[in-house]
Homo-oligomer: A and B are copies of this chain.
Amino acid sequence: MNKPYFPRSEDGVAPLRCTVSRRVRFEEVDALGIVWHGRYASFFEDARAALGARYGIGYMDFFSEKILVPIKILHVDYHLPLTFDESFTIEAVLHWSEAARLNHEYILRNKKGDITTTGYTVQLMLDANGEVLVIPPPFFRDFCNRWKNRQLHIRQSG
């Protein structure tokens, strides 16, 4: 990974980060004993969901505002394999943007701290009619303001 997935924020707003820990499950491993490449979308989602829950911008928060945030792009770069029962971490990084989109980057690390996998997703925001939003909904603009002004509160999980 030489080139960053997303351009650096011109506003100088630091990205938000959230890391979850997991262990490779038996059913995630293929005939070669390593995690099948198609499972990483699920790993990314685990960390993205945790970040969303922490900052109040998860699927349920958008749903309750009748906004959908479908994935438009998924990209995965595989550097090292993960094997059965191996413990690893998934870090989701939400990059700053005031547009009606969510730009997440992901970094997976094994127990030794080596980066095994990186990638990114881009999500758009749609209203109840499936129309792409140009301006984010009020609750998200409010979230961006607090983010920019370093006033984010971490929500307790249920």
A residues touching B (Cβ–Cβ < 8 Å)? 25-27, 29-34, 36-38, 40-42, 45-46, 49, 58-60, 68, 70-78, 81, 84-85, 87, 158
Contacts and interface: CB of A to CB of B under 8 A. Distances in A.
This chain's copy number in the assembly? 4
B68 A77 contact: no
A128 B38 CA distance: 23
B30 A45 contact: no
A42 B42 CA distance: 13
Given A46-B25, A77-B73, A37 B41 contact: yes
Contact of A30 (B29, B46, B78, B85): B29
Given A25-B45, A27-B38, 17 more contacts: A26-B36, A26-B49, A27-B30, A27-B42, A29-B31, A30-B30, A30-B31, A31-B31, A31-B33, A32-B68, A37-B74, A38-B41, A38-B42, A58-B85, A70-B78, A71-B78, A73-B78
